[in-house]
Amino acid sequence: MQLLTGWGRTAATRATVQRPASAAEVVDAVTKSDGPLIARGLGRSYNDAAQIAGGTVLDLTGLDAVEQLAPDTGRVTAGAGLSIDRLLRYVLPHGWFVPVTPGTRQVTLGGALAGDVHGKNHHVDGSMADHVTHADLVLPDGSMRRVAPGSVPKKGSDLFWETAGGMGLTGILTSVGLQLVPVSSSQVLVDTDRAHNLEHLLSLLGEDDPENPYSVAWIDLVSRGAQMGRGVVTRGRHATRDDLPIDQRSSALAFNPRTLLATPPLFPSGLLNRVTVRAFNEAWYRKAPERRRDELQTITAFFHPLDGVAGWNRVYGPRGFLQYQLAVPDDGVQAIVDTVELISGSGTASFLAVLKRFGPGNPGWLSFPIEGWTLALDLPNVAGLAPLLDQLDELVLSVGGRVNLTKDARVDPARMREMYPRLQDFISLRETLDPSGRLASDLARRLHI
């Protein structure tokens, strides 16, 4: 038995861990299982989605082969256990990039589809499932099925869109096909603007900028008064080979990111407090230029800055942390303002707060994005946090918003059903697909899915 947690390092439970090396071994594990099981990739879900107390966890990182790449079209098929990091190392030299990337490359393709991850370009390009061409799925009865957008199996169930965002509860993904996007360099042209308060930041981020498909804002959630919600907005687009200095053009597609720092195995609790976070935020805000255009940055620096710090989740100490990510429609933007006011006035030190725009959602039954705004907060797991988050839940619900299933570690099941109108349909589907309850997770048990 192995002790497992999510990236937030809370709610640890023990399970038997198996490491299949092929789809056939996954089928064998599912068929022979006499208890609940769930798939796991690199453990980057912040919560308890990839663990099951007393059951079996299938570590799929052994299914990491690039099975096929069409260099002329950018269609790739790879094992569900392949990380975005390793995929990029393989495809970037051929002039291709992933269509969607979250804030870390250390996510498997199976996990990216099961969580239907989004990135800085959702308002333009949607989430991961919008770019998946097909996926192979081992169902709870051990049978294998290939699912794809638009392919509707018997009984009218669209198993692809039930699997996208379905948190691994419809089956075990073994292979994923993806349509990549062409690039001619491994760098990004970045525009930066410093926002003096939340109103200014929302205005900047809400501006249409068709030239830059990637956009994100960092928010200072410690400052109050006239500076409340100040932050830094960054936008980017892939640099062409001709955008690079002449001496870099011969290696325009080079990609070899490295870990620059590592946090100690034991990090003192309480080090991230209101005082230290205020000092960090002040330095980070002042470091950003008031306005800068067309700065060349590496893909790593722009998309995945925290990947340069190994084990950064340990900075929150032994009690871990929660990430609270909300999405609200455009007409519910006041909920973003109210959330910032609540957090900044609560005394809670949010080390990392990120605001982005969302475009229209997709047909995924449990896919998180809805058209509007999304705010993600990293919050130390301290006493008194639960009532504050309950307040935020009610605030989000009041404007027709929701929280992210891949991040949630404590939402009340009844509230979750209000946030996801198709959750009851998903539960009914699970009862049909998996009447014996072979697939389960701590998250599913907690939310009664």
For residue range 177-205, list pLDDT tens digits in order: 999 999 999 999 999 999 999 999 999 99
What distance separates the 2 farthest-apart alpha carbons in the chain?
62
Tell which residue, 205, 225, 206, has the closest CA to residue 216: 205
Q: Is 417 exposed, middle or buried (0-12, 13-18, 19+ CB in 10 A)?
A: middle
Return the CA Rg of the chain.
21
Written as six digits, the tokens of 98 are 């992933």
For residue range 137-177, list pLDDT tens digits in order: 999 999 999 999 975 544 445 899 999 999 999 999 999 99
Tell which residue, 81, 14, 19, has the closest CA to residue 52: 14
CA angle (34, 39, 41) in 5-degree steps: 150
Written as six digits, the tokens of 339 are 């959330």
The reply to whether 159 and 247 lie within a common domain is: no
The reply to whether 198 and 109 lie within a common domain is: no
Residue 283: the pLDDT is 84
For residue range 208-247, list pLDDT tens digits in order: 898 999 999 999 998 889 999 999 999 999 999 999 999 9
The reply to whether 70 and 191 lie within a common domain is: no
Residue 275: the pLDDT is 77
Does residue 210 sit within a domain?
yes
Residues 6+ apart with CB under 8 A from 428: none
Q: Where are the beta strands (DSSP E) in 269-331?
A: 291-298, 309-310, 321-329
Does residue 78 sit within a domain?
yes
Structural domain boundaries, residue 113: 66-183
Does residue 13 sit within a domain?
no
How high is the mean pLDDT of the chain? 93
The reply to whether 213 and 147 lie within a common domain is: no
Does residue 426 sit within a domain?
no
The reply to whether 302 and 404 lie within a common domain is: yes
Residue 153: the pLDDT is 47
The reply to whether 229 and 370 lie within a common domain is: yes
78: confidence class by pLDDT, cuts 50, 70, 90: very high
Q: Would you tell me how many other CB atoms lie within 10 Å of the CB of residue 94?
A: 16
Tell which residue, 140, 108, 93, 110, has the closest CA to residue 434: 140
Residue 372 φ then ψ, to 5°: 150, -120
Instruction: Select from 167, 183, 199 the last residue of a domain.
Output: 183
CATH code of the domain in which 270 resides = 3.30.70.2520
Does residue 290 sit within a domain?
yes
pLDDT above 80 (res 127): yes
Written as six digits, the tokens of 6 are 């999510």
Does residue 24 sit within a domain?
no
The reply to whether 175 and 192 lie within a common domain is: no
Which residue in the block uniquely carries the two structure tokens 């068929």?
A: 31
Q: Is 6 within 8 Å of 409 (Cβ atoms)? A: yes
Q: Is 367 within 8 Å of 129 (Cβ atoms)? A: yes
Reduce the DSSP state of residue 302 to 3 states and report it.
Answer: helix
Specify which residues 177 forms β-bridges with: 77, 134
pLDDT above 80 (res 302): yes
Residue 258: the pLDDT is 82
- What mean pLDDT is predicted for residues 415-421? 97
The reply to whether 162 and 198 lie within a common domain is: no
Residue 265: the pLDDT is 65
Does residue 45 sit within a domain?
no
Least confident of 195-209, 239-253, 308-322: 308-322
pLDDT above 60 (res 269): no
CA dist 444 and 449 (Å) reads: 5
Does residue 44 sit within a domain?
no
272: confidence class by pLDDT, cuts 50, 70, 90: low
Q: For the chain, what's the residue count?
A: 449
The reply to whether 133 and 233 lie within a common domain is: no
Instruction: Select from 122, 157, 183 the last residue of a domain.
Output: 183
Residue 154: the pLDDT is 46
- What's the one-letter identity of residue 140? P
The reply to whether 146 and 193 lie within a common domain is: no
Residue 229: the pLDDT is 93
Q: How many domains does the chain have?
A: 2
- What's the one-letter identity of residue 44? R
Tell which residue, 129, 158, 80, has the closest CA to residue 369: 129
CA dist 420 and 332 (Å) reads: 17
The reply to whether 123 and 201 lie within a common domain is: no
Instruction: Select from 133, 166, 183 the last residue of a domain.
Output: 183
Residue 122: the pLDDT is 98
CATH code of the domain in which 168 resides = 3.30.465.10
The reply to whether 173 and 196 lie within a common domain is: no
| pTM of the shown model | 0.95
Written as six digits, the tokens of 285 are 């805000």
Least confident of 12-16, 285-289, 421-425: 285-289
